[in-house]
Chain A
């Protein structure tokens, strides 16, 4: 199945929409020296000249550890961040990044003149930046049950990264974070972290605690007070906190 003319192929390889199955597919492709034209999720609609291929991959739950041993922790983290992004060709970027690893080994990360490296690092930084922004801009509301509930609308799939952050920070609380764009949930309950999608969860009729409103009011008051009128600078604020984040920011309610 070896293909010496990578740019003439029309073969689109399909994976099962999760990180493990993407890695399993790429591992199989690398092993068999196959150069894919595209790698896409299973809902992909091929164009007229594209040829969909589902190849059998071994589903190995140890693949993360296995690849970590080959590529190292840092590269695996880069790949995970790229996978979490909303970029169209992220699968191919990962494929070529790993392919080039065999040639350049641990120097790969410094080879920014290679397109796959500069792309991978650009995408990784983009995802990391968004995750960092949401570590600050996410807002919990307290429910009647004293659990905390937050909704976010990130471009990239950063729910896992955020959940790990709050797992350390709010370890004595129960909380739920909902990604409204992907309809996925991170649930932290009795010191255990779970991920779920909408079918498995029922969060209708949530009621907030009786203190919730007064703390929201205090926060809004604090926010309005802390800005110095003589220094007002909307452009600067907009650079740091663009409007797309405002939707769930309690303090921006009046300006939305």
Chain B
């Protein structure tokens, strides 16, 4: 099998992992190549996702039989395995042509977790030590491997992570019978405890598949919130379930739940940067996000009695909760308003989306609209039905939920 055919097979089987970020590393060594703290996207694939890393599996041979996975043991697909040298050659040749920021290496489980990890370590050691590669490397740890291997691999890579895959242990038992939650959390805990500038400097992330099992958005967000808290994760990735296999335990979908995935990402941002808690956004009576309204607006509409806010005097935290104001514009408002009183035009120059924010703010006591219009029915009608119509016009994604 030539290298091109291997690349075809092993990129094809790696593409369902959502993570491709190359940011956050502060590592400085390496004669050939470096990392950019902000991360760099080198291309965008036909599905609009960023391509930053060479995302491949070492092998798609796998002893596990996870129901949702294209590489499951019981699937009759063509199998391939890269040699460490082949991976190095592709990585350095892609890197020097500026196609990529580095390597994302994951693997099916061949023979045993220990054996697979050994191959991954050998590959990345070769890349770092023989080729002096200083670019970004994100490796997936294999659940069940030894602590010694985690230590070794973690000191070679920028990011080392393990995927939660499914939001609850019950779903894991149902859909990934060979996987154990405890083995994944063991890896995540090890990385958390040992992380420093020489050991996984860019920290760890994880991924959950959305829509393959029965969990509500509340379950998923609670799992995320706990993981951020317990393991100091940099990111949780949400991956809309793509039906690649048939199984009695899997749902039958025509389209992956992309809009739901989008809402979860928005809510995830609210947790990490906007000081929201899951309990602000969802509760037992409303366990799922509204597909038509983004979570922040939805929160604001349910708390209209707290609005409008005066941008010249409210706190940073209050600014963050106003729809149409993001972290950057909130910071700009805070630093600028010490020096002059802000008006609507100034807000626009600072990147505030007035189309959204105008319903929820006053500037120097002035409300941009007729004050009687501060009602959720009016705002909903003006803001979201417009958006919803637009989206329905563009794609068929919403049809799933109607």
Q: B95-107: contact bitstring with A at CB < 8 Å (1 yes, 0 no)? A: 0111100000000
Chain A, interface SS category: helix
Distance of A242 from chain B, by nearest CB (Å): 10
Return chain B residues, CB-CB under 8 Å to A211: 93
Smallest CB-CB separation from A121: which chain B residue? B349
Complex: A2 Cα to B368 Cα, angstroms? 43
Q: Are A226 and B93 in contact (CB under 8 A)?
A: no
Return chain A residues, CB-CB under 8 Å to B342: 113
Complex: A225 Cα to B56 Cα, angstroms? 11
Asked whether any CB of chain A lies closer than 8 Å to the CB of B350, the reply is yes
Distance of A141 from chain B, by nearest CB (Å): 7
| Given A231-B256, A236-B48, A218-B97 contact (CB < 8 Å) | no
Q: Are A138 and B11 in contact (CB under 8 A)?
A: no
Distance of A78 from chain B, by nearest CB (Å): 15
Distance of A177 from chain B, by nearest CB (Å): 10
Smallest CB-CB separation from B101: which chain A residue? A136
Return chain B residues, CB-CB under 8 Å to A138: 98
Smallest CB-CB separation from B337: which chain A residue? A110
Asked whether any CB of chain A lies closer than 8 Å to the CB of B43, the reply is yes
Q: Are B350 and A223 in contact (CB under 8 A)?
A: no
Asked whether any CB of chain B lies closer than 8 Å to the CB of A160, the reply is no
Return chain B residues, CB-CB under 8 Å to A234: 46, 48
Complex: A141 Cα to B93 Cα, angstroms? 10
Asked whether any CB of chain B lies closer than 8 Å to the CB of A73, the reply is no
Complex: A221 Cα to B332 Cα, angstroms? 44
8 Å CB contacts to A: which residues of B85-142? 90, 93-94, 96-99
Return chain B residues, CB-CB under 8 Å to A118: 349
Interface residues on A, range: 35 or more
Q: Are A112 and B336 in contact (CB under 8 A)?
A: yes
Smallest CB-CB separation from B22: which chain A residue? A136
Q: Are B96 and A218 in contact (CB under 8 A)?
A: no
Query: Which of B32, B90, B96, B240: most chain A Cβ within 10 A?
Result: B96
Among B3, B54, B98, which residue has its beta carbon within 8 angstroms of that of A139? Answer: B98
Distance of A143 from chain B, by nearest CB (Å): 12
Q: Are A233 and B43 in contact (CB under 8 A)?
A: no
Q: Are B43 and A140 in contact (CB under 8 A)?
A: no
Asked whether any CB of chain A lies closer than 8 Å to the CB of B252, the reply is no
Q: Are A227 and B46 in contact (CB under 8 A)?
A: yes
Asked whether any CB of chain B lies closer than 8 Å to the CB of A243, the reply is no
Surface stretch bound by A, among B34-42, B166-174, B378-386: B34-42
Smallest CB-CB separation from B132: which chain A residue? A172
Complex: A136 Cα to B38 Cα, angstroms? 12
Q: Are B93 and A241 in contact (CB under 8 A)?
A: no
Q: Are B97 and A230 in contact (CB under 8 A)?
A: no
Among B31, B46, B332, which residue has its beta carbon within 8 angstroms of that of A112? Answer: B332
Distance of A234 from chain B, by nearest CB (Å): 7
Q: B3-18: contact bitstring with A at CB < 8 Å (1 yes, 0 no)? A: 1100110011001100
Return chain B residues, CB-CB under 8 Å to A44: none
Interface residues on B, range: 35 or more
Among A137, A150, A229, A233, which residue has its beta carbon within 8 angstroms of that of B42? Answer: A137
Q: A216-240: contact bitstring with B at CB < 8 Å (1 yes, 0 no)? A: 0111011111111111111111011
Return chain B residues, CB-CB under 8 Å to A227: 15, 45-47, 49
Return chain A residues, CB-CB under 8 Å to B97: 139-142, 148, 215, 219
8 Å CB contacts to B: which residues of A150-166? 150, 166
Smallest CB-CB separation from B254: which chain A residue? A230
Asked whether any CB of chain B lies closer than 8 Å to the CB of A45, the reply is no
Complex: A132 Cα to B23 Cα, angstroms? 13
Asked whether any CB of chain A lies closer than 8 Å to the CB of B399, the reply is no
Return chain A residues, CB-CB under 8 Å to B45: 223, 226-228, 237
Distance of B2 from chain A, by nearest CB (Å): 10
Distance of A240 from chain B, by nearest CB (Å): 5
Complex: A227 Cα to B46 Cα, angstroms? 5
Distance of B398 from chain A, by nearest CB (Å): 14
| Given A169-B33, A225-B15, A236-B48, A135-B4 contact (CB < 8 Å) | no
8 Å CB contacts to A: which residues of B333-348? 335-336, 338-340, 342, 346
Complex: A112 Cα to B38 Cα, angstroms? 25
Q: Are B258 and A231 in contact (CB under 8 A)?
A: yes
Q: Are A241 and B44 in contact (CB under 8 A)?
A: yes
Complex: A31 Cα to B126 Cα, angstroms? 60
Q: Are A221 and B7 in contact (CB under 8 A)?
A: yes
| Given A111-B336, A118-B349, A168-B34, A228-B98 contact (CB < 8 Å) | no
Complex: A221 Cα to B243 Cα, angstroms? 23
Query: Which of A110, A112, A211: most chain B Cβ within 10 A?
Result: A112
Distance of B254 from chain A, by nearest CB (Å): 9
Complex: A166 Cα to B135 Cα, angstroms? 13
Return chain B residues, CB-CB under 8 Å to A137: 42-43
Complex: A115 Cα to B242 Cα, angstroms? 50
Asked whether any CB of chain A lies closer than 8 Å to the CB of B156, the reply is no
11 pairs of residues in contact across A and B, judged by CB atoms under 8 Å: A112-B350, A113-B346, A170-B32, A211-B93, A222-B11, A225-B7, A227-B45, A230-B256, A232-B46, A232-B47, A235-B48
Known interface pairs A136-B40, A169-B33, A169-B34; 19 further A-B residue pairs with C-beta atoms within 8 A, sorted by A's residue number: A107-B339, A110-B335, A111-B339, A135-B40, A138-B98, A139-B98, A140-B97, A172-B32, A215-B97, A218-B3, A227-B45, A229-B47, A231-B242, A231-B258, A233-B47, A233-B48, A236-B44, A237-B47, A241-B44
